[in-house]
Amino acid sequence: MTDPADLSAAELTDEYRAGTLSPVEAARAVLARIERDDPKVNAFCLVDADTTLEMARASADRWRRGAILGPLDGVPVSIKDVLLTRGWPTLRGSTTIDPSGPWTEDAPSVARLRERGAVFAGKTTTPEFAWKGVTDSPLTGVTRNPADPSRTAGGSSGGAAAAVAAGMAPLALGTDGGGSVRIPASFTGTFTIKPTYGRIPHYPASPFGTLAHVGPMTRTVGDAELLLDAVCGPDARDWSALAPPDVPFRPAPGERDADLTGLRVAYSPALGFATVDPEVAALVAAAAETFAELGAKVEEADPGFGDPVEEFEVLWFAGAAKVVEHLTPEQFAALDPNLREGCERGARYSALDYLTATARRMELGRIMGLFHDRYDLLLTPTMPIPAFEAGVDAPAGSGSSHWTSWTPFTYPFNMTQQPAASVPCGTTAAGLPVGLQVVGARHADALVMRACAAFEAARPWS
């Protein structure tokens, strides 16, 4: 009999509906998996079994009465520890935040899941203030990759990705300011999408500004569709939130379209400037061929912009300086050393520096807008490398200790606010997962999800 912890969200609700499994049994299975496996990977920074089981019992009662709150009622979900969660502290991986609270408010995405009856499995780890592309912090230590615990799970949503990959909850909420759901999804062999900016409302507003997105992290595209349907739509606290999508992301039974005939797809092996590991390059090239087999018109093409890392770093490190501006000198000294250096750098930028970087960002948006007049989708590697050693900020030979030195495919699309998904597309000879990035024009989230679902159907991953 399949362990309930290994079932997808869709499979769980099928079982609930049939009466062959209850939300309480699913919650107990997830808690048992966390107890068994989390010491190996360190995905969770908070587990509150009493609250989890209380939520599961309330869901089980709704299922018995035929009064469920939606398709995620009773499904376990983890929450990245930068998203406010009523009743639980949100410490953001930092020793500088007082855990006593009070913690009286949910972030919009968390509130929508609570309203729809999801069962909160706990809060997942993040680097301090979610600032970098691996997950370790002075508060919670190192988060590791379930595929190989000697390797990093990536970041900054590394705890969320590790929890999903290890069956410690089928759904997770992460955030992405420069790749923070896509980096760990690629490293752990899970699915994610960074939606168009504003598609999922975000509150409190991120100090990193409009770079920061909330994103679902799951084992299947179908589960991500369910999660998107639950958390998209406006929230009065987020002035930049978009209107609800016109149609659900999750197709009705029998309506899923796996045919990509006529879709115009650009495949860019390196965006014109990145260096890619040969095994990663080969797996991504094979994935692009699968799109052609599904009917898409695939051709190799670069968008035509150079690496915007310098401008991104102005925006990013200025945001980091804003995050910590309230800290005392003693608290500042206790920060992650690389974060401290980045904040000092960010504080030195002028308003002119910031506006110059913003102008570069706007130019990238123009370039990509015109690019998507010619191509519906852009395919790239999600990451140029497989997961590297856990406990370090950058792989050997990267030339910098900052995470931006090894993530060339992710941060450009935070600058342009486009939807960008990471789909597992194979493993290296060492068994390390590799991700394919699927990028669409702004507001083309549904198209990106449809293409990812078609790829998943043609190239299923376990």
Active site residues: 80, 156, 180
Query: Distance from first CA to last CA of the chain, Å, rounded?
Result: 17
Bridge partner list, 415? none
Place of tokens 């999801």: 118
Query: How far apart (Å, rounded) are the C-alpha atoms in residues 420 and 180?
Result: 12
Query: How far apart (Å, rounded) are the C-alpha atoms in residues 107 and 205?
Result: 10
For residue 204, cis peptide bond before it (omega within 30 degrees of 0): yes
Query: How far apart (Å, rounded) are the C-alpha atoms in residues 146 and 291?
Result: 29
Angle between helices 337-347 and 309-323 (to 10 degrees): 100
Query: How far apart (Å, rounded) are the C-alpha atoms in residues 154 and 184?
Result: 4
Could you give the C-alpha distances from 457 to 194, 267, 273, 405, in angstroms and in order?
21, 20, 31, 34
Query: How far apart (Å, rounded) are the C-alpha atoms in residues 95 and 190?
Result: 29
Cα 213 to its chain centre, rounded Å, is 9
Q: How many separate helices (H) and strands (E) can be counted in the chain?
A: 14, 15
Residue type at position 370: L
Q: Are strands 213-218 and 377-381 parallel, antiparallel or unpaired?
A: unpaired
For residue 156, cis peptide bond before it (omega within 30 degrees of 0): yes
Structure tokens at 59: 């869901």
Q: What does residue 242 show for φ and ψ, rounded to 5 degrees?
A: -85, 165
Place of tokens 């960074």: 194
Query: How far apart (Å, rounded) are the C-alpha atoms in residues 456 and 448?
Result: 12
Structure tokens at 275: 């260096």
Residue type at position 244: P
